[in-house]
Amino acid sequence: MVKNKASTERIRVLILADDCNPDWHSLPALVYTFICTLAKYVDVVVVTQIRNKPNIEREEMGKAEVVYLDTEKIAAPIYKLATFLSGDFNKAMTLKVALSYPSTLAFEWAVWRRFRQDLQNGRFDIVHRLSPMSPTIPSPIAKWSPVPFVLGPILGGLPWPKHFKAEMNREGEWMNYFREIHRWLPFYQSTYAHAAAILAAYDHTISDVPDFAKPRTINFSEGGVDPIKFIMPVRHKKEQMTVLFVGRLVPFKMPEVLIRSFAASSILQQHKLIIVGDGPERLRLERLVEEEDLSGCVDLTGIISQDRVGELMRQSEIFAFPSIREQGGGVLTLAMMSGMACVVVDYGGPAARVKSGCGVKVPLGDLDHLVRHFTKELEQLVADPDRVISLGIAARRFTETYYSWEAKARKMLEIYNWVLGRQEEKPDFWNQPSASLSQSE
From residue 237, give the alpha-carbon distance in Å to each of 101, 343, 385, 400. 51, 19, 6, 24
Are the CB atoms for 404 and 435 separated by under 8 Å?
no
Express each pLDDT in 174-225 by its tens digit. 888 888 999 999 999 999 999 999 999 999 999 999 999 999 999 999 889 9
> Is the peptide bond between 427 and the residue preceding it cis, with omega within 30 degrees of 0?
no
Residue 170 and residue 252 in one domain: no
How many angstroms separate the CA atoms of 114 and 144, rounded? 13
Residue 282 and residue 317 in one domain: yes
Lowest mean pLDDT among 1-10, 90-99, 104-113, 359-368: 1-10
The domain in which residue 319 lies consists of 228-401
Percentage of the chain beyond pLDDT 70 is 96
Counted domains in the chain: 2
How many angstroms separate the CA atoms of 283 and 279, rounded? 9
In-domain check, residue 439: no
| Cβ count near 95 (within 10 Å) | 19
The residue-averaged pLDDT of 9-22 equals 95
Express each pLDDT in 47-88 by its tens digit. 999 999 999 999 999 999 999 999 999 989 988 888 888 877
Residue 219 and residue 241 in one domain: no
| pLDDT above 50 (res 274) | yes
| pLDDT above 70 (res 241) | yes
Identify which has the larger pLDDT, 367 or 435: 367
In-domain check, residue 390: yes
| pLDDT at residue 207, rounded to an integer | 95
In-domain check, residue 425: no
Q: Which helix (H) or strand (E) holds 228?
A: none
| pLDDT at residue 8, rounded to an integer | 63
* Residue-wise burial string across 206-229, b where 16 or more C-beta atoms lie within 10 A, e elsewhere: bebbeeebeebbbbbbbbbbebee
In-domain check, residue 352: yes
Residue 43 and residue 172 in one domain: yes
| H, E, C per residue of 64-127 | CEEEEECCHHHHHHHHHHHHHHHCCCCCCHHHHHHHCHHHHHHHHHHHHHHHHHHHHCCCCCEE
Residue 46 and residue 173 in one domain: yes
Residue 316 and residue 235 in one domain: yes
Lowest mean pLDDT among 5-14, 47-56, 413-422: 5-14
| pLDDT at residue 232, rounded to an integer | 87
Q: Of 151, 148, 122, which is closest to residue 137 (Cα–Cα)?
A: 151
Half-sphere exposure at residue 221, Cβ-oriented, CA atoms within 13 angstroms: 26
Residue 329 and residue 185 in one domain: no
The residue-averaged pLDDT of 271-277 equals 97
CATH number (domain holding residue 378): 3.40.50.2000
In-domain check, residue 433: no
| pLDDT at residue 401, rounded to an integer | 92
Percentage of the chain beyond pLDDT 90 is 79
Residue 48 and residue 123 in one domain: yes
Residue 408 and residue 383 in one domain: no
Residue 178 and residue 250 in one domain: no
In-domain check, residue 424: no
Rg for the chain, CA atoms, rounded: 22
Half-sphere exposure at residue 208, Cβ-oriented, CA atoms within 13 angstroms: 26
Round the average pLDDT of the chain to a whole number and report it: 92
pTM above 0.95, yes or no: no
Residue 366 and residue 266 in one domain: yes
In-domain check, residue 284: yes
Residue 409 and residue 397 in one domain: no
How many angstroms separate the CA atoms of 361 and 373, rounded? 10
How many angstroms separate the CA atoms of 41 and 44, rounded? 9
Spatial neighbors of 287 by CB under 8 A, at least 6 apart, are: none
Amino acid occupying residue 392: G
